[in-house]
Chain A
Amino acid sequence: MLIIDAPRFRVTNAVLKGARVLGRLLLGVETSQPNVAAARPLLTPEQFQEELAILGFSGREFGPEEYSEALGNYLGISIAIYIIPDAHYPELARRLASAGRLAELRYSEELGIAAIIVPGSLPPLVLALTILHELGHLAAGDHLIEPSRESQREDLHKHDRETAFATSRISRGNRLARALPLAEESLREQEANLRASYALVAGCLGIESPYAHEMYNIL
């Protein structure tokens, strides 16, 4: 789950919004609507491999901590992972479990801080994948989606094609993924799951990953 603390007013945001309004008025362009070219399929392992190369992890073994650190450096934000000891706070784990959630990602645009809060009682595999899942949201740029666009999810989804899904517009900020974040929340969750599983496997295989080898075997 992603919670964003966006600043109430910013000059850059206001200028961008103003430009969009002007674009609509002068050119008749409805900028808030996605175009068909913005549709894309879900992340592939090959695309994830490119992301790993950018972070310097292609062909290297790594864990969630290293991935988090490298991602934070690349995005220019500070990412903190809090593993809550359930023995001391059993109510937190119970609340998350009852709500059907495993973790929480909080992002403050103003402070440039992302915090991942995870109960320590999760099984080890789930814990690793949950942390990587939340990091996957940051890598995809889901935290940059403008809150005002959230309400248009349903309309955006109508533009779906067979395997391509509509993307969402984002505010200014760094993201690791090449493509824009997906418009529909359930698809963003699905993609974050994929990113987590790609990361876990790539981090374990290191140089033995066939995708890492593919990057050296292009002809």
Chain B
Amino acid sequence: MSVAQHQHLVLGGVSFVAFVVFVCLIPFSRRTWFSEFAALNLLLATLMFGSVTVLDFSGWRAEVLAALLTELPVVSVVSWVCLAQAGHLPVRREALPIEPVACRPRLGIVLKTAPLFLLLAWVLAAVIGLAWPSPAMQAYAPAPPEFVLFKWTMMAAEGFYSSIAALVFAVAARSTALDLRLRLKNLTFCTGMLCIALIALVSASFAGVRLWVSSESRRTVLEALLTLETYLAAICLFSFAFGLALRYTPIISGTLLRQIHSGWLLAQERFESLTWRAITSGRVRGAIRASHHIAEAADLQGLSDSDAEKALAAVQLVAVMQNPGTDIEHITPETARELYELQEEILNDEALASKIGWTTRWRPHTHEIQTISSAPLHDALEVALDLVDYHDEQPDNRPRPLWHHLVAVSVADVGLVDPARVRARLGHQPEHRMALDTYGAVKSELRSRTLNDRETTSQDGWRVK
């Protein structure tokens, strides 16, 4: 067995072990497109290195051909990695580019050219190697200048693209805000690509040594280079295997997020904006009066800001649902029920519901963040639906907060719902009595204030005070 055959046997063995490790140790659930491609490539590499070891290559052209074939797995892996970094894998249409590439579009363009230039370099090397054959598989033999040209053509392209890919992975691994597992994953891929780049450098140096170094020291240098190449190949394969085994699953489910994007968020925005439009344009009967009374009653009872907001929102919702108007788009109890159920689903994921929020700082003097769980709409919807969309008139025995009763009394008072039904359902609860008393007191107070105002206004409309 020649030295080259021995070297290829070692590389074939390493590839085969990596393939076995992948098949046996990485479960189906953890496999990605790249891992399957890499495994296939490893098998291909094993077969190539194996055939080069077993077959007898007599003639320099056959040696060149064998050397070319063993480069194919490397060319395909580097191309795949570069395309994946640019987000242009043909098998994954929705694939995102890696972050450092996404913010540097020119780098993306360079990476996208990898398959083209790597293949071109390979073809060019094939033309050079076949036109001017050289002893490509005789590791320690002196080589002609054509061999250096043949080898360097391929190695320059491989070294260039794998160095760029390694650099991109290194930049990605530097992001301190990232999960440790993801950083480690990028670091291992960086190591893997760096090893490929170093193998290309070692291979190019190998060709140079065969051409320029004298026969006395050549063997020693070449042996060292071959050993280094083997170690680098082993580190590279181990790095990729380790990186692929590090599977990362995000805490927040992408499916739920898609539901939020295209379902809930837009529905809630539509709902709130329709309510705002209806109230602001003054098309809703009774809403302004009821809201005014509610605000005063909440103040009198010392309700929290949050409860007062919920009560006001509930009054507006009842008013909008009971006054559909002439708009094509309007709020019905059915659409309100749908939104409520959507909200319930989102609220089941507490972590997400407390994360997604919006600022109220656009308004002066308020700087709070409202989240899905803290926003008043969900509770207000529940109350509004309870008052508008119910199918029996049995007494409701569930204990309701005071603001719920205030809303019920208020919307019944302005004629938005039937007062008899409200009495039948909620009248037996002690808070309802309290709400009735408070609301009555507020109304009397407001009435007397209005009368006082009228008395202090002259007949022609000018204030005399």
Our verdict on whether A and B bind, yes or no, reads yes
Interface residues of A (CB under 8 A from B): 44-46, 49-50, 53-54, 56, 58-60, 63-64, 83, 85-86, 93-94, 96-98, 100, 102, 119-130, 193-194, 197-198, 200-201, 204-219
Q: Which residues of A contact B96 (CB under 8 A)?
A: 46, 49-50, 211, 214-215, 218
B interface residues with partner A (beta carbon < 8 Å): 32, 34-35, 81, 84-85, 87, 94-99, 102-103, 105, 172, 175, 177-179, 182-183, 185-186, 189, 243-244, 248, 250-254, 257-258, 260-262, 265-266, 268-269, 272-273, 275-278, 280-282, 327, 355-360, 362-364, 370, 375
By Cβ-Cβ distance, the 5 closest A-B pairs, closest first, are: A53-B102, A97-B280, A210-B250, A219-B34, A97-B281
Contact across chains for B276 and A208 when beta carbons are under 8 A apart: no
Contact of B276 among A123, A212, A214, A215 (CB under 8 A): A123
For A194, list chain B residues within 8 Å (CB).
261-262
Q: In the complex the two chains form, what is the Cα distance from A200 to B370 in whole Å?
A: 13
A125 with B375: CB separation less than 8 A: yes
Contact between chains at B363 and A129 (CB < 8 Å):
no
| B residues near A213, Cβ cutoff 8 Å | 178-179, 182, 248, 250
Q: Is the CB of A54 within 8 A of B103?
A: yes
Q: Find the B residue at minimum CB distance from A85.
A: B364
**A217-B182 contact, Cβ under 8 Å, with A46-B94, A93-B280, A201-B265:** yes
Beta-carbon contact of B357 and A123 below 8 Å: no
- Measured in the bound complex, the distance between the Cα atoms of B172 and A58 in whole Å is 12
If A125-B268, A126-B272 are given as contacts, then 8 extra A-B residue pairs at C-beta distance below 8 Å, sorted by A number, are A45-B261, A49-B102, A59-B99, A97-B280, A120-B363, A129-B265, A209-B252, A211-B96
Q: What residues of chain B lie closer than 8 Å to A206, measured between beta carbons?
A: 177
In the complex, are the beta carbons of B102 and A201 less than 8 A apart?
A: no
Question: Which of B97, B182, B280, B363 has the most chain A CB within a 10 Å cutoff?
Answer: B280
In the complex, which residues of chain A have a beta carbon less than 8 angstroms from the beta carbon of B34? 219
Contact B94 A44 (CB under 8 A): yes
Which chain B residue shows the least CB distance to A122? B276
Residues in chain B near residue A123, CB distance under 8 A:
272-273, 275-276
Q: Is the CB of A94 within 8 A of B257?
A: no
Distance A56 CA – B175 CA, assembled complex (angstroms): 13
The reply to whether A207 and B177 contact each other, CB–CB distance below 8 Å, is: yes
Contact B282 A217 (CB under 8 A): no
Contact A215 B186 (CB under 8 A): no
Query: In the bound complex, how far is the Cα of B257 from the Cα of A193, in angstroms?
Result: 15
Tell me whether A197 and B266 are in contact in the complex, defined as CB-CB below 8 angstroms, given that A45-B261, A59-B175, A208-B252 are known contacts: yes
* CB-contact partner of A205 in B35, B272, B356, under 8 A: B356
Shortest Cβ distance from A155 into chain B, in angstroms?
26
Task: List the B side residues contacting A46 at CB < 8 Å.
Answer: 94-96
Which of A49, A120, A197 is B362 in contact with, Cβ under 8 Å? Answer: A120
A48 to chain B, nearest CB (A): 9
- Complex CA gap A159/B364 in Å reads 48
Contact A94–B281 (Cβ < 8 Å)? yes
Q: Please tell me if the beta carbons of B280 and A124 are within 8 angstroms of each other in the complex.
A: no
Which residue of chain A lies nearest to B264 when distances are taken between CB atoms in the complex? A197
Known pairs A208-B252, A215-B98; A125 contacts B370 (CB<8 A): yes
Chain B: which residue is nearest A193 at the CB level?
B266
Interface contact A124-B189, CB-CB below 8 Å: no
- Residues of B with C-beta under 8 A to A127: 358, 362
Residues of A within 8 A of B277 (CB): 97-98, 100, 102
Q: Across the interface, do B95 and A200 meet the contact criterion of CB distance under 8 Å?
A: no
**Residue contact B84 to A218, C-beta cutoff 8 Å:** yes
Q: Nearest B residue to A123 by beta-carbon distance?
A: B272
Known: A44-B94, A50-B96. A218 touches B85 (CB 8 A): yes
B-chain residues with CB within 8 Å of residue A210 when the two chains form the complex: 250, 252-254, 257
**B273 surroundings in chain A (CB, below 8 A):** 102, 122-123, 126, 130
- Most chain-A CB neighbours within 10 Å: which of B96, B266, B364? B96
Assess A124 versus B102: contact at CB under 8 Å? Given A45-B257, A216-B175, A219-B81. Answer: no
A117 to B262, CA, bound (A): 25
- 6 pairs from A and B in contact (CB 8 Å cutoff): A45-B261, A49-B102, A122-B276, A126-B276, A201-B265, A218-B87
Pair B103/A53 contact, Cβ less than 8 Å: yes
Shortest Cβ distance from A34 into chain B, in angstroms? 22
